[in-house]
Amino acid sequence: MACDFYQLATPGVQGLHPYQPGKPVEELERELGIKNSIKLASNENPQGPSPVAIAAIQAALGESCRYPDASGFKLKQALSDHYGISVNTITLGNGSNDVLDLIGRTFLLPGDEVIYSEYSFVVYMLVAQSTGARAVVVPARDWGHDLDAMAAAVTDKTRVIFLANPNNPTGTWFSDQAMRAFMAKVPENVIVVLDEAYLEYVSEPEYMSGLALQNEYPNLVVARTFSKAFGLAALRIGYAVAAPAITDLLNRVRQPFNVNIPALEAAAAVLSDSEYLQRSVEQNRTGMQQLEQGFAQLGLGWIPSVGNFITVDCGCDAAPLYAGLLQEGVIVRPVANYQMPNHLRVTIGLPDENNRFLAAFARVLKQQSGKADTL
């Protein structure tokens, strides 16, 4: 009798389903036999990487036969200089997802509780379940975090709380004042992870990074990435900023060569390219306005977003609309797995990409309306 390897896996892993990324352009074109598709599904920077980062990558390729610096000294020093943080508070990750996983493996045991919000990043659930911890999902308020309810959900079994500011996939955010009030309610032995993957895009005056709170709350861990505004998604580089004791623990679990040389060099270089970052943020601002105006003209609602994406309310099951857009060579992100079956998440693209999406969306909406009328 053949061995059932699924039964050999831990209970948490047995119940998991693999993370579903945005559909690649190559896969769509191979399946449908089309060309010149566009992808607005994975919240990538549509401008392409910074020329400064490209130069750093090219220079680093000659060292591809070497292992990277396991300590990431150069990048840590660059982060320290740029943000005014201590080197011994930084943990480097293979993307910020890696950092989130490190936190789970460091602090969670079966039976522990992990708190996160409804409609928040699916990786929080994956971290909880893979470690055997119990997920406590707090209902959202206006598509965003209900921080009062999340604080009230803390028990003596709570070990980790995941917050996203801004949140993915809804684009909602909470203020510095709200964050301070929340942290004041959380016991010091509960690790609070503040995921700031999209903070560079936020211009709201009441928004502030969690870095400003870490001296006051040593249990606060801030997670960030170079995949979004800094345009290095393919290189997979992120980091956590935490108290030295937490950082020491995370680095005990972290794989010694988890970040490659091109990623280390490109990330250190792009921090200095303020013009690239400014262009990225400005392009995102105008692109957001472009899509909001387009949705208004189509008579559709949306969730106001401060990220580099916007989630539109289709007013009906979004799955046929998603499929219709694929036929048009336009890839967006369905979010039914977040219990949002009537919504689609759309990454802000370049102006012509946004126009192409809106035109294709209008056609697909009309087609679906016509089908509905014949039923």
Handedness of CA 350, 354, 355, 356 (dihedral sign): positive
- The predicted-structure confidence for 111-159, as pLDDT tens digits, reads as follows 999 999 999 999 999 999 999 999 999 999 999 999 999 999 999 999 9
- Quickly tell me which residue has 């579903």 as its tokens: 20
- Is the dihedral angle over the CA atoms 20, 26, 30, 33 positive or is it negative? positive
Work out whether the CA dihedral 59, 63, 68, 69 comes out positive or negative: negative
**Is residue 60 within a helix (H) or strand (E), and if so which, with residue range?**
helix 51-60
Residue 219, C-beta contacts closer than 8 angstroms, at least 6 positions apart: 186, 188, 189, 190, 191, 192, 243, 246
**Structure letter (DSSP) for residue 195:** E
- pLDDT of residue 18 exceeding 80: no
pLDDT greater than 70 at residue 285: yes
d(CA 160, CA 221): 10
CA distance linking residue 100 with residue 120, whole number of Å: 14
On the question of pLDDT at 373 being above 60, the answer is no
Cα distances from 261 to residues 39, 53, 60, in angstroms, run 28, 12, 7
Residue 90 phi/psi, 5-degree rounding, is -110, 130
Q: Which residues on neighbouring strands pair with residue 42, listed in sequence order?
A: none
What one-letter code names the amino acid at 99?
V
Spell out a b/e string for 229-246, using b for 16 or more CB atoms within 10 Å of the CB, else e: bbbbbebbbbbbbbbeeb
Distance (Å, whole) CA 308 – CA 64: 33
pTM of model > 0.85 = yes
pLDDT in tens, 299-322: 999 999 999 999 999 999 999 999
In order of their start, the domains of the chain are 21-48+275-374 (3.90.1150.10), 51-272 (3.40.640.10)
Quote the mean pLDDT of the chain.
Answer: 94
